[in-house]
Amino acid sequence: MHLECLVSAPASRPDLSSTARVFADRHIGPDSEELERILHVIGVPTLDGLATKSVPAAILDAATAGVGDGLDLLPTPVGEHDALAELADRAAQNTVAVSMIGLGYYDTLTPPVITRNILENPAWYTAYTPYQPEISQGRLEALLNFQTMVADLTGMDVANASMLDEATAAAEAMTLLRRANRASKSPRFVVDTDVFPQTLAVLETRAEPLGIELVRHDVTNGLPDGDFFGVLVQFPGASGVVVNHEDLIARAHDAGALVAVGADLLALTLLKSPGESGADICFGTTQRFGVPMGYGGPHAGYLAVRSAHSRQLPGRLVGVSVDADGDMAYRLALQTREQHIRREKATSNICTAQVLLAIVAAMYASYHGSDGLRSIATQVNSRARALADGLRGSGVALTTDSFFDTVSAFVPGRAVDVVAAAKRAGVNLRLVDADTVGISCDETTTPAHIDAVLGAFGAGRTDTDPAESLPSSLVRESEFLTHPAFTRHRTETSMLRYLRMLSDKDIALDRSMIPLGSCTMKLNATAEMESITWPQFARLHPFAPDTDTAGIRSIVADVEKWLVDITGYDAVSLQPNAGSQGEYAGLLAIRDYHVGRGEGHRDVCLIPSSAHGTNAASAVMVGMKVVVVACRTNGDVDVDDLRAKIDQHADSLSAIMITYPSTHGVYEHEIDDICAAVHDAGGQVYVDGANLNALVGLARPGRFGGDVSHLNLHKTFCIPHGGGGPGVGPIGVRAHLQPYLPGHPLRDGLGGGRAVSAAPFGSASILTITWAYIRMMGAVGLRRATLTAIASANYIARRLDEHFPVLYTGENGMVAHECILDLRDLTKRTGVTVDDVAKRLADYGFHAPTMSFPVAGTLMVEPTESEDLDEIDAFCDAMIAIRSEIDRVGSGEWPVDDNPLRGAPHTARSLARDWNHPYTREEAAFPEALAGRAKVWPAVRRIDGAHGDRNLVCSCPPIESFA
């Protein structure tokens, strides 16, 4: 290349600041020329014209209708480098102290090969939940490793992948035991006193609405009198003590109760597993397996059970099955989209979980292997023993001599001083009470840290060999992680290639648009992502003192303020760590509000039949009764039916949950009437805000009738899906519900309500992503993004309507940000199904749209604002080509059971095999409409789901099965 090209600019080159593209131009796919073409096709002159034509005038924010930006609290946007510089300033306001607070959060060393190739790699972090298993084999294998790791370490038969955090996993363990225990009808559940305070708080939140009575009890004194359906203990305890629970478990079983054990996975490399001690279920977190603390999250919780309970597991479970050629293949087993099918009968409301973080933890275990993990654990334990020895040597009493990594020191009246002295030495300890200090070691703890802590107590290290601290009856003898997945990738080269091999099997946003209705798979910009691995955000303990956390808390405050502005609500809580948890927190606020007004009998929740499945599941979790409201043939809520249901339940009406714009992809024009009718009857309005991408800058749920909404920051606000999590599901509320926003036992100044997540600010460390997005877009950019998303959805609706009829449109023939393509008639006439079309798209290099939700036999397409016209047209061309393939089936040219659609997806290998099909290999793998698009080879052929459910295998299959 000529150097000239790099250095010479035209003499007349204008000032860079005026030509440099603003970030909104990088985020938004269509440029002005493309946008003009899009608007031409949909027949509106301008984006503003689109706003008035699509959004009902009654709710369109007057301030935003073309004049001004209306979002007064949002800052003027800055470019990527300026935003990163501001974030660096905020980061510099945090102090990364040595964290020895413990309580379920430990500093950890993420292997750099994992940081760069998973956490910072869009092939992993931009992936969607693996509902299309044929193009998701990489992340499914990684999750199967996670399940195997958890099952091995806990001694359980089956683990899921994965839970939102340890505290919510404990709550799910409690409700699972209640479902599973057919022998006991008791409402009582025994919780040991030595559990983490945040775990206890979330258990209390969950128990009360379900009529479960928590019995706090020190189980070292045996079990309490009376009946109870379950017992929950922690291993090791919050105080650090390691207790042998075998007898307790046996006695609980004799009493007809089941037992859940919250277990630390690193400790389990040295300690006998709860499974071997007889536990029925294990729960916990995998944070310390290489996932940064991140001021509370995100990290993956886990839940593992004996096989008798495997069909009761909430969340996602990866299983092994076979594909159309009989080759082994992975898929989500049993509860795939469980909530959508079972709704109010679902086992839980968990949808988005923590897939990316589960994958990091699994790879951490693969990279270290059982011997590596054991030596990490041994080092952690030896640091704790040296600490204990030094303390005892200088006369400080410890609460126990049996511990793994955590020591509780008894210093009557001196605890505050000791913690302050340690702080001066750069170490954060846990102030348990005025007399007790907790100190937890982790893999980053050095002898110098131990010296600093001992110094804070006025003690020093002894010369003697510290005493053993693991009870001999509990020393682990069983093997774990013997599968090749945990022995083969111990060099960096091998791990690097393994990660690349896996991600190459998957379609993520780095390869194709992911046109998933309701899930808003938009750009996750690199500048938004960069700061998540900065240590000043990543290495903060959620209970670190405020003096260490000014920077991250200023991010929290900004995001809260900006979301208040965008939603029109009065206050926002960032604690819920998924949309489903936001629903739960919002409904709890409604419930507590009614109770506070002496109307606690209000317990009916109206939910339109089109709702996302989590809505009904969340309502049940807060003790509400679900009453379904019908939809009209045009997709709108049937207002007559709604009024009838309101009349019928007038005295007991608690709330309506309504998604806006609806999951049918239209702005219902009667939304204000609907809200008013519910309010008139004394009910509250929950607006599911998952579709906020169609509202930002145009209308505000807090102004058009909502009392509370959750938002999905992993949809509208650029947090990546990570293959099924992380998520952030904040709720906005109007002032009367503000006193009921989530609180936290270890943090004052939040809402007055109850804790719903383990950490005060949920998945705090990824709020920087949303912060950067809003900071770089500004009010004008956000509004343009919304309108572009609507324009692109309408463009697709226009282009595809004659090939696949668009099921629902609003008053002016417009859709919102997504559209539903109806294949039911085509299926009836030709036998070709939505599955066939979805799988066939993989042969064209595309990820399929949402299948059969919210209407069976349809595809829901959402392009988002981030896709440019070339990609949108390529998708439409592929869909149109697929339509002509369907016609060839319809005309009888190809038999319904042997054609490129039914045969899809086609692997390279399938082409190399004998070929006895009425279509050619070229038609199979290189259809004309593939055009110049890069060929993505699916890793497996169509997977037999039923086979996998009948023969449930949920851990790594033996290596022979790969033959």
* Minimum separation from the CB atom of position 168 to ligand PLP (A): 12
Chosen residue from 74, 171, 212, 578 binding ligand PLP by CB under 6 A:
578
CB nearer to ligand PLP: pick between 239 and 348? 348
Question: Which residue stretch of 574-582, 757-765, 782-790, 912-920 sits at the interface with ligand PLP (rule: CB under 6 A)?
Answer: 574-582
Question: Burial level of 410, CB count in 10 A (0-12/13-18/19+)?
Answer: middle
> 96 near 539, Cβ under 8 Å?
yes
CB nearer to ligand PLP: pick between 631 and 690? 690
Name the pairing type of β-strands 258-263 and 281-285. parallel
Chosen residue from 118, 538, 690, 815 binding ligand PLP by CB under 6 A:
690
CB nearer to ligand PLP: pick between 578 and 642? 578
708 forms beta bridges with 686, 733
The closest alpha carbon to 100, from 345, 440, 409, belongs to 440
Name which of residues 630 to 649 contact ligand PLP (CB under 6 A).
none
CB nearer to ligand PLP: pick between 180 and 764? 764
* Minimum separation from the CB atom of position 394 to ligand PLP (A): 51
Q: Report phi then psi at 402, rounded to 5.
A: -105, 105
Chosen residue from 168, 663, 770, 809 binding ligand PLP by CB under 6 A:
663
CB nearer to ligand PLP: pick between 528 and 688? 688
Cα angle value 482/306/317 (rounded, 5°) = 75
Q: Quick count: other Cβ atoms within 10 Å of Cβ 465? A: 10
Name which of residues 741 to 800 contact ligand PLP (CB under 6 A).
none
Q: Longest Cα pair distance anywhere in the chain, in angstroms? A: 90
Which residues lie closer than 8 Å to 251 by C-beta, 6 or more apart? 222, 223
Task: Count CA atoms within 13 Å of residue 578 on its CB side.
Answer: 28
> 733 near 750, Cβ under 8 Å?
no
CB nearer to ligand PLP: pick between 581 and 768? 581
Site string for ligand PLP, 296-335 (x = CB under 6 A): ----------------------------------------
Amino acid at 11: A
Chosen residue from 64, 181, 575, 580 binding ligand PLP by CB under 6 A:
580
> 773 near 717, Cβ under 8 Å?
yes
Site string for ligand PLP, 418-447 (x = CB under 6 A): ------------------------------
* Minimum separation from the CB atom of position 681 to ligand PLP (A): 24
* Minimum separation from the CB atom of position 352 to ligand PLP (A): 3
Alpha-carbon distance 309 to 500, whole Å? 35
Q: Can you state the percent helix, strand and coil of the chain, rounding each to 5?
A: 45, 15, 45
# binding residues, ligand PLP (CB under 6 A): 15
CB nearer to ligand PLP: pick between 337 and 423? 337
* Minimum separation from the CB atom of position 816 to ligand PLP (A): 12
Q: Which residue is nearest to ligand PLP (CB)?
A: 579
* Minimum separation from the CB atom of position 762 to ligand PLP (A): 12
CB nearer to ligand PLP: pick between 35 and 578? 578
74 forms beta bridges with none
CB nearer to ligand PLP: pick between 99 and 614? 614
Amino acid at 795: Y
Question: What 3-state class would DSSP assign to 398?
Answer: strand
Name which of residues 335 to 354 contact ligand PLP (CB under 6 A).
351-352
CB nearer to ligand PLP: pick between 701 and 905? 701
659 scored as a contact of ligand PLP (CB under 6 A):
yes
* Minimum separation from the CB atom of position 719 to ligand PLP (A): 10
Chosen residue from 102, 290, 579, 742 binding ligand PLP by CB under 6 A:
579
Question: Which residue stretch of 84-92, 573-581, 645-653, 773-781 sits at the interface with ligand PLP (rule: CB under 6 A)?
Answer: 573-581
302 forms beta bridges with 284
Alpha-carbon distance 99 to 694, whole Å? 42
Alpha-carbon distance 355 to 305, whole Å? 19
Name which of residues 585 to 614 contact ligand PLP (CB under 6 A).
612, 614
Alpha-carbon distance 372 to 478, whole Å? 16
The closest alpha carbon to 261, from 364, 173, 159, belongs to 173
* Minimum separation from the CB atom of position 613 to ligand PLP (A): 8
* Minimum separation from the CB atom of position 515 to ligand PLP (A): 14
* Minimum separation from the CB atom of position 833 to ligand PLP (A): 23
Which residues lie closer than 8 Å to 677 by C-beta, 6 or more apart? 639, 642, 643, 646
Question: Which residue stretch of 449-457, 576-584, 588-596, 907-915 sits at the interface with ligand PLP (rule: CB under 6 A)?
Answer: 576-584
CB nearer to ligand PLP: pick between 727 and 751? 727
3-class DSSP string for 740-798: HCCCECCECCCCCCCCCCCCCCCCHHHHHHHHHHHHHHHHHHHHHHHHHHHHHHHHHHH
Question: Which residue stretch of 497-505, 543-551, 578-586, 950-958 sits at the interface with ligand PLP (rule: CB under 6 A)?
Answer: 578-586
> 499 near 117, Cβ under 8 Å?
yes
Element (H, E) at 585: helix 579-596
Alpha-carbon distance 942 to 836, whole Å? 9
* Minimum separation from the CB atom of position 343 to ligand PLP (A): 12
Site string for ligand PLP, 352-381 (x = CB under 6 A): x-----------------------------
Binding site for ligand PLP (CB under 6 A): 351-352, 518, 578-580, 612, 614, 659, 663, 688, 690, 712, 727, 729
